[in-house]
Structure 1
Amino acid sequence: MTTDLGPESLTAAVIGSFKKTPDQRLKAVLESLTHHLHEFVRDVAPSIQEWEAAIDFLTATGQKCDDVRQEFILLSDVLGVSMLVETINDEETPDATDSTVLGPFHMVQSPERVLGENISAESEGDVCVVRGRITSVTGEPVPGARIDVWQANTKGFYDVQQPGIQTIGNGRGLFTADEHGEFYFRSVIPSYYPIPTDGPVGDLLHATVRHPYRPAHIHFIVAATDYKTLTTHIFVGGSEYIDSDAVFAVKESLIKPFSTNADPEAAAALGVAAPFVEGVIEIVLHPEAPPHEDTNETVKEVVR
């Protein structure tokens, strides 16, 4: 291969270098990546110093990652890429509940809890109840579905952000839906909060005069046999920053009122005193699609 290639022929040569790639999905991804990345460089025409600064930024992003911090997810989030991936995949399951970003704080395993348990026993604030039902797109309940939940406390911090203040597992829970596909748990209404700004992503937000705040929300991952796993949120209606989420993750369908319920019978059934605040969500799962002939396992291995 010659080394005196011009801009166009260089791109063609790099794309051509992938022609023997056995996995066709990996080959297509690398070809497209090369094409668009080279187009970006031609469009921006960075100086050597600017390209070195970009490499330094990505290096610092990787160095900021650890067992409880994923700066690359944060970067993907603030650039809107995480939501773009979610939105594209949602097009395949239009009848299911909207998905949204995983976020950077699903870094530890949630503790197994029984229905009705308080996931935020260490957190200050009035107890609320979050309840819901898991159904299929046909309306049938999905008994035994697994519901993984995690949230910030009333001061806007996740457990992993406050070692020594919160026990790992506070604000988290792994539940199993009952025979009717229903679940409920007690917690506190989470606060809006800033995403971490003490790393490269924070520098990016500062340089672009963007705020770092996310509206109040609770994360969900819902999984069941023969159904596509769903990653979603319930957003607290009326929260600050609901219209300007730093990671572009708010969907209208996921905004739910956290309303006062004064019914003493309902309170007794849920193990709380009346009146109480509750948030209600119905989560609709889509059947798992059959696997494609061309697997993308090689892609996963390469990027892992």
Structure 2
Amino acid sequence: MSETTHAGNGISPEQAAVEQELVDTVVASFDKAEDPRLKQVMQALTRHLHDFLREVRLTEEEWNAAIEFLTAAGHITDDKRQEFVLLSDVLGASMQTIAINNQAYKGATEATVFGPFFLEDAPEIPIGGDIAGGASGQPCWVEGTITDTSGHPVPGARIEVWEADEDGFYDVQYGDNRIAGRAHLFADDEGRYAFWGLTPTPYPIPHDGPVGKMLASVGRSPVRASHLHFMVTAEGLRSLVTHIFVEGDPQIEIGDSVFGVKDSLIKKFETQPAGTSTPDGRGGNNQSWARTRFDIVLAPVLI
């Protein structure tokens, strides 16, 4: 075998040729795929995966550790916890996919990560209703409008909202089947919406599983910046999955564990002293509350 090494990897040309031959063989194994998109994805995945393996010169012990990691992620995943979504989030893959599929368009509201805690069939509330459902935290009045990029109201747009309580837990994390901190409502004929929620606070993503152990091993924090989730859908317009973040939250500067913060989504949450009248006419009370505004602009489906 030649003593000449392969540039960049410290391996001989002969070894590089053996490795490349395997890549070519595996890529070619997908040539007969009937779906051209599936063929493209699988062949690109194969090339990039093998490039990664060869770049880092992965050891067999590391390969086994990776298999154990993925197996553990599968075991901890159930109908209320999605560890693979969490893994995608902390690697930035979720945000990159969102960036690719939600390109900027004429002032449309920016999208961000979906997160692992959305549930179908959240209860419906009327405009001005309360999503808290008994969850602890400072009450927060959230209001805004839904329009298209031409400024026209979007009546009847469906707005899904969900958030953690002040202790940093979503309802599904309690394991007692409670429904709290989530609901859906519909915009009125002028595209307006409003509801009571909770002032968001920072919290860690679930870090008792393999993803949390991985973050700890590389010195990364699991904490997310304070946020409130939205998913907005309307016929003929691009569905939007996004959050709003709390202006002044120190965690924004420290770093969001899933890379979800965008400047346009940082909103002012204004604390109101106890006794201040509320926008829905409830009058004063003995607890402080906050208010914020989030005007949402939906892009067309085909752009």
Identity %: 45
Q: Kindly tell me: are residues 145 and 252 of structure 1, through their superposed partners in 2, closer, same or farther at Cα, counting changes over 3 Å?
A: same
Q: Residue 148 of structure 1 aligns to a residue in which SS? A: strand
Please say which of residues 154-163 and 88-97 is displaced more in the overlay.
Answer: 88-97
Q: TM-score, normalised by structure 2?
A: 0.88
Q: Residue 52 of structure 2 aligns to a residue in which SS? A: helix
Q: Which runs of 5+ in 2 are unaligned?
A: 1-16
Distance in 1 (alpha carbons) for counterparts of 2:26 and 2:246: 48
Counterpart selection for 2:86 from 45, 70, 74: 74
Residue 285, structure 1, aligned to residue 298, structure 2: yes
Counterpart selection for 1:257 from 268, 287, 290: 268
Distance in 1 (alpha carbons) for counterparts of 2:23 and 2:225: 43
Superposition pairs of residues 42-53 of structure 1, within 5 angstroms? 42-53=54-65
Distance in 2 (alpha carbons) for counterparts of 1:196 and 1:120: 21
Q: Residue 102 of structure 1 aligns to a residue in which SS? A: coil
Residue 61, structure 1, aligned to residue 78, structure 2: no
Decide whether the 8 Å contact of 2:128 with 2:280 is kept in 1. Answer: no
Residue 270 of structure 1 deviates from its aligned partner by 5.4
Asked which structure has the greater CA Rg, the reply is: 2
- RMSD over aligned CA atoms reads 2.0
Q: Residue 218 of structure 1 aligns to a residue in which SS? A: strand
Q: Kindly tell me: are residues 193 and 272 of structure 1, through their superposed partners in 2, closer, same or farther at Cα, counting changes over 3 Å?
A: farther
Q: Kindly tell me: are residues 178 and 75 of structure 1, through their superposed partners in 2, closer, same or farther at Cα, counting changes over 3 Å?
A: same
Number of positions where the alignment pairs a residue of Structure 1 with one of Structure 2: 283
Distance in 2 (alpha carbons) for counterparts of 1:282 and 1:39: 44
Superposition pairs of residues 223-242 of structure 1, within 5 angstroms? 223-242=233-252
Residue 121 of structure 1 deviates from its aligned partner by 3.5
Q: Which runs of 5+ in 1 are unaligned?
A: 291-304
Q: Residue 267 of structure 1 aligns to a residue in which SS? A: coil
Residue 261 of structure 1 deviates from its aligned partner by 5.7
Q: TM-score, normalised by structure 1?
A: 0.88
Q: Deviations over 1:22-55 (max 9, x none)?
A: 1111111111101100101111111111111111
Superposition pairs of residues 1-304 of structure 1, within 5 angstroms? 6-91=18-103, 93=105, 95-164=107-176, 168-243=178-253, 244-260=255-271, 267-269=278-280, 271=282, 273=284, 276-289=289-302
Q: Residue 40 of structure 2 aligns to a residue in which SS? A: helix
